[in-house]
Structure 1
């Protein structure tokens, strides 16, 4: 196994693994370079021997902590900080040197920081190392510019080795950065393709379910129409006018529920029904069936967009009883009906029903009135009736799961 292989770690994401591997490998290279340079500068008695020795021991300690702590961020922070201090000491304490190699090591350090610790720490080390060289060139470099430097062959070899390794590490940092970006782009493309594929499957299933539910509503509506037809055929054989009237009331209630299923299969979304459209159609049908020789006008005003499918049935049946009672007991020749719906507090909504007819009060609670009370309780609501000179008002406070 290569010495550059990282120890097994518990990091989950590719980016974290790549950064951990990078810190491990560049730390390993620093260790080798530090050891070689320490030995070489000791042999040639170079002034940078102490600094290479310090770097060597620092990197050995970093490898140890990386292997056993598995936390590359903390190790990288300590490693980068101590190397920055060593580079700064080398610049300010070794005279008669152009300190070009320190600049390259600083570039490696800054790029590594940006890659492993992010923009904040990278900017911090960029500022610190820029300050080091800013001080050096403004306060020390001018004093050594006149000195004629005698560069020995072994010093040239040392500089060439440092430059080669530093340039290699700069390339390695950029290669790792490109590798991360390439992998991220690949994973993003795969994720997009996967999500797109799942989206198509969900859309296809949703379309199938919608068509199936629409077909169910259509069949239910047709079945109710058959029931209505059977009831009408049966009513022709009934002699009693009271029984015929009861049959007609039952037919209108079934038609009210049938209209709900018709609206459900006519719309693309089966979640909610357009409440204004449904109630307008319902009242129009009730007026046409119950006002053969009466001129009845109506209006529906609603600030609610929709009502859930489970609540539309009792609501429609309440309207059915109200309009039917109005047509039977309030209007003689003509009349006007107004229906208003608006949001209330919390999950409640308000409904006001008005007609301007003159009711034939008999003081008895009819079956239709009982149905209104039953359906109002089903919607967890309350209502009250008021009469005045202008007409009759019904004030409802009802509950809806999702008010829109």
Structure 2
């Protein structure tokens, strides 16, 4: 059940309440007007005014449906009439007016809100404080002189006012019950939707993990085929090109492996992935050299869109270092850290001595392509302690 359904129910209940209370006031007003006229009671004129006001209220409600305006008119009019009756008819005890005060205050709270209810509470309280402290002390003798007809009027008014108080509380309880039912229904719907979403999310996660697993296996098949093919190649240069291609495929295969090994497929743990990648590149067995490496990262996660070109950049850097910078041994360091909300910095360094002309290889051209994909930039510096690459790369959004 939606909040609009509850709102419509509440408005309909309030409209019906104003209609009912007007209808009851009209009937009671008519009876009391006739009765007080016949017994020549002082309250005749007040009942007559109330009767006309309620006739007007029923007419307006039927044709214009403006229950809030009618409620304001009704409450204000009854309050004023009650005050006039209290202070202009001193020959009555005016005990029944206190019940009408309760009816007006409860009705105002119920149909027009807290501020209006508080207003009528204060106004009616002031009226009766004045009455009980100024007028009432001089009316003690009336209890001995009340006519039987007046007692009938008091009895009717008391019964009707008590009925209306109960009716107000009944309507209020009805709205509360409806609200509780709506809240419980909405809670159950949300719980069911949550269960469905969690199930679908788990299902999609498992499916994506399976896809990554199969892609990784397919890449392994491709690697195996390339290695079989490379065994038939006589040219050392061509065989080396095959091995470089295999290394690049293995780099992408590792990404898919990491994706299906983790529960969340949105981001990858950078340090874990880079450590595994560099270790795999160094221990491929293609180049027999003793290489130490150190990976440091304060960047917790990168998107799955970013990790592919990033991994290929590092793959080319490590491959180039192993081929062109080290004779027998060396050290590679890799540092990754956030730059701002969108970009991160990466410093790659080796302590080897690069061979001349190696800075413009096909691998270097690939690095430039992948850097462009990450909307970044880089520079290469050769120092006494080794060769350094400084990158500033963008952590792309998942679907960018």
TM (norm. structure 1) is 0.91
Structure 1 gap ranges (5+): 1-9
Contact 1:96–1:149, Cα closer than 8 Å, also in 2:
no
Post-superposition offset of 1:374: 0.8
Whole-angstrom CA distance in 1 between matches of 2:349 and 2:387:
6
1:88-237 equivalences under 5 Å are 88-147=83-142, 149-237=144-232
Post-superposition offset of 1:92: 1.8
Q: What do residues 32-51 of structure 1 show as CA deviations (whole Å, max 9, x unaligned)?
A: 21222122111111111122
Q: For residue 305 of structure 2, what is the aligned residue in structure 1?
A: 310
* TM-aligned CA distance change 1:227 to 1:276, over 3 Å: same
The equivalent position to 1:64 in structure 2, one of 53, 59, 80, is 59
Q: For residue 342 of structure 1, what is the aligned residue in structure 2?
A: 337
Verify: 1:36 aligned to 2:48, yes or no: no
Post-superposition offset of 1:112: 1.0
TM (norm. structure 2) is 0.92
Whole-angstrom CA distance in 1 between matches of 2:41 and 2:351:
110
Whole-angstrom CA distance in 1 between matches of 2:89 and 2:193:
65
Q: For residue 400 of structure 1, what is the aligned residue in structure 2?
A: 395
Post-superposition offset of 1:350: 2.6
Structure 2 gap ranges (5+): none
Contact 1:383–1:395, Cα closer than 8 Å, also in 2:
yes
Q: For residue 356 of structure 2, what is the aligned residue in structure 1?
A: 361
SS state at 1:114 partner:
helix
Q: What do residues 239-291 of structure 1 show as CA deviations (whole Å, max 9, x unaligned)?
A: 32222221111111001110111111111122222222222211121122266
* TM-aligned CA distance change 1:212 to 1:276, over 3 Å: same
The equivalent position to 1:23 in structure 2, one of 12, 18, 25, is 18
Contact 1:298–1:338, Cα closer than 8 Å, also in 2:
yes
Post-superposition offset of 1:106: 0.9
Contact 1:111–1:170, Cα closer than 8 Å, also in 2:
yes
Contact 2:92–2:142, Cα closer than 8 Å, also in 1:
no
Contact 1:263–1:273, Cα closer than 8 Å, also in 2:
yes
Q: For residue 77 of structure 1, what is the aligned residue in structure 2?
A: 72
Whole-angstrom CA distance in 2 between matches of 1:346 and 1:62:
63
